[in-house]
Amino acid sequence: MFGYRVPAPDEAMLISGGRRGQGGAPFRVVTGHGKFVLPIFRKVRFLTLAMCEAEVAETCVTRQGIALTVRAVIAFKVGNDTESVVNAGQRFLSEQDQMSVLTGRIFAGHLRSIIGSMTVEEIVTERQKLATEVLETSKTEMAKIGLTVDSLQIQSIDDGDTGYIDAMSAPHKAAIQRQAQIAQAQATQASVEAQQEAARNQAEYSRQTAIVQAQYSAEVDRAQAQAAQAGPLAEAHAQQEVLAAQTELAERAALLRQQQLVAEIVKPAEAEAERIRLLALAEAERMKIQAAAAASYDRVALDRMLIDQLPQIVKEASAGLQGANVNVLNGADGLGEIAAGLVGQGLTILDSVRRNLGAPEGATGGTPAGAPAGLPKADGGTRKAPGRSIEID
């Protein structure tokens, strides 16, 4: 449309004429959209907002007095805010290429100032610190001219012919070379060890192969020898089995003969000895029973005779009371006690006689065993029983 203007995405449209812009600026700033501009009465100019680049190659003197040539690259642009566009437009609108020249000079001055406060070692080892300090010190000055810095990169630092940086790096180079030599030596040693290990493995493999081959050959020889000896060994084994069978047969024949001898001689002799022993035992038992029966008969007859003579023994014992003066104090009870005493004496005498009769020969002063003893009298004498004599102490 006639009179309608639109800036590019990386441009700011500056419209002069008519009313003033923001903050009393001599022009109005339009970005990102179009604007209807009256022809003849308004004038339109465009300011680039694209990224620009400035290079710096400056010789700076360090705190140690060593001259260094520093090369750096600055990436900058016009700020996006209206104030930055106004400031940049008032300074660079007619000659926008001067933005790179002025930026390089500004950074060169700050670079000389900051490098003058640092040593070579700090500059070489702390490049990022150098760049950060340069950016911080230049930020305010760049803002005044409407520019912002996106980055600062230190490309190179050169001390010329002084050789300071080379001397400074010599220990590190030596250490690196030493480490490289050590690494090379270790690699060489590892390679040699690997070769030696491979040789040992090859030798071990050869040895194992030789051993296996020798074992195989030995097994083959042994199998052939066994095959050659199989016939004689089989014949010898068969003969050995025949001898073993013959030996077993002879042992069985001897055992059978031994059993026959036992059956023909030993067993009949043992049976005869057993018969004789049983007959002797029976005879001894018979004689023992006869002796016991005879003794029992004699004893029964003797006891019977003693019982028959008991009244006579009591009578003889009471004869000693004839003519005695006996005073009975308790009447009939006293007489009963005297009679009982006489009977008791008779029984005691009877027991004594029985014991003497049961004693061995010669225990009663020469009276033979089994003969009845003499009967006592009241006066201590001896009275003879019919057909036997008994002596009482």
Domain locations in the chain? Answer: 4-159, 301-321+329-383
The rounded distance, in Å, linking the Cα atoms of 24 and 27 is 8
Q: Which architecture does CATH list for 4-159?
A: 2-Layer Sandwich (3.30)
Please determine, for residue 277, whether its predicted confidence score (pLDDT) is greater than 90: no
The rounded distance, in Å, linking the Cα atoms of 16 and 94 is 14
Please determine, for residue 212, whether its predicted confidence score (pLDDT) is greater than 90: yes
Identify the H or E element spanning 146.
none
Question: How open is the CA angle 194-199-204, to the nearest 5 degrees?
Answer: 125
Identify the H or E element spanning 192.
helix 164-261
Q: What is the pLDDT of residue 15?
A: 80
Q: 25-29, 71-75, 275-279: which has the minimum mean pLDDT? A: 25-29
Residue 164 confidence class, pLDDT cut points 50, 70, 90: confident
The first and second tokens of residue 368, run together, are 């033979």
Nearest to 9 by CA among 52, 43, 48: 48
Dmax (CA) of the chain: 214
The total of other beta-carbon atoms located within 10 Å of residue 324's CB is 6
The rounded distance, in Å, linking the Cα atoms of 99 and 116 is 26
Alpha-carbon separation of residue 302 from 36, 183, 368 (angstroms): 185, 140, 14
> b or e along 370-390 (b: 16 or more beta carbons within 10 Å of the residue's beta carbon)?
eebbbbbeeeeeeeeeeeeeb
Alpha-carbon separation of residue 263 from 258, 260, 266, 352 (angstroms): 9, 5, 6, 64
Residue 356 confidence class, pLDDT cut points 50, 70, 90: low
Question: How open is the CA angle 180-184-185, to the nearest 5 degrees?
Answer: 120
In terms of average pLDDT, the best of 169-183, 209-223, 272-286, 326-340 is 209-223
The rounded distance, in Å, linking the Cα atoms of 37 and 44 is 8
Summarize the confidence of residues 358-380 as an average pLDDT.
42
Beta bridge partners of 153: 73
What average pLDDT does the structure give for the chain? 78
**pLDDT tens across 218-236, in order?**
999 888 888 888 878 888 8
Q: What is the pLDDT of residue 388?
A: 38
Q: What sign does the CA torsion over 116, 119, 124, 126 have?
A: negative
**pLDDT tens across 182-194, in order?**
999 999 999 999 9
> b or e along 67-84 (b: 16 or more beta carbons within 10 Å of the residue's beta carbon)?
ebebebebebbbbeebeb
Q: What sign does the CA torsion over 147, 151, 156, 158 have?
A: positive
The total of other beta-carbon atoms located within 10 Å of residue 133's CB is 19
Residue 385 confidence class, pLDDT cut points 50, 70, 90: very low
Q: What is the pLDDT of residue 320?
A: 56
Q: What is the pLDDT of residue 124?
A: 87
